[in-house]
Amino acid sequence: MCGIVGFTEFQHSLANRSEILTNMATSIARRGPDEYDYFHDAKISLAHRRLVVIDPEGGKQPMSATYEGVTYTIVYNGQIYNTKELRNELLDFGFTFSTHSDTEVLLKAFIHYGYRVVDHLIGIFAFAIWSDKKQELFLARDHFGIKPLYYTEKNGEFIFASEVKALFHYPAIEPVINATGIGELFGVGPAHTPGISAFKDIFELKPAHFLIARVDQVYQEEYWKLESKPHTDSFEKTCETVKYLLEDSIERQLVSDMPLCTFLSGGLDSSIITLYASNYYQKHHLGILPTYSVDYVDNDKNFVKTDFQPNSDNEYIALMQEKLQTKHTRIVLDTPDLAGSLEDAMLARDFPGMADVDSSLLLFCRAVKKEMTVALTGECADEIFAGYPWFFREDALHSHTFPWSIALKERQCLLNPAIATGIHLEDYVNARYQESLARVKMLDTDSSETAEKRNISYLTLNWFMQTLLDRSDRMAMYAGLELRVPFCDHRLVEYMWNVPWDMKAYNGREKGLLRHIMKEELPAEIVERKKSPYPKTWNPTYLAAVKKMLSETLEDSNAPIYELLNRSYIREILDTEGKAFTRPWFGQLMTGPQLMAYLCQVNMWLKTYRPKIEL
Q: What stretch of H or E contains 79?
A: strand 70-80
SS (H, E, C) 103-158: HHHHHHHHHHHHHHHHHHCCEEEEEEEEECCCCEEEEEECCCCCCCCEEEEECCEE
Provide the 8-state DSSP code for 62.
S
Distance CA 484, CA 468 (A): 13
Out of 2, 380, 413, 488, which one is annotated catalytic? 2
307 burial level (CB within 10 Å; 0-12, 13-18, 19+): exposed
| C-alpha to C-alpha distances, 58 to 53, 85, 127, 237, 244, nearest whole angstrom | 11, 19, 18, 42, 32
Tally of residues, the chain: 615
Of the candidates 615, 599, 551, 583, which has an alpha carbon nearest to the alpha carbon of residue 307?
583
**N- to C-terminal Cα separation, the chain:** 38
Exposed, middle or buried: residue 251 (CB in 10 Å: 0-12, 13-18, 19+)? Answer: middle
CB 356 within 8 A of CB 421: no
Strands (E) in 254-363, as ranges, are: 260-263, 290-296, 327-333
Cβ neighbours of residue 177 closer than 8 Å, sequence gap 6 or more: 185, 198, 199, 200, 611, 612, 613, 614
600 catalytic per annotation: no
Sequence letter at residue 73: T
Active site residues: 2
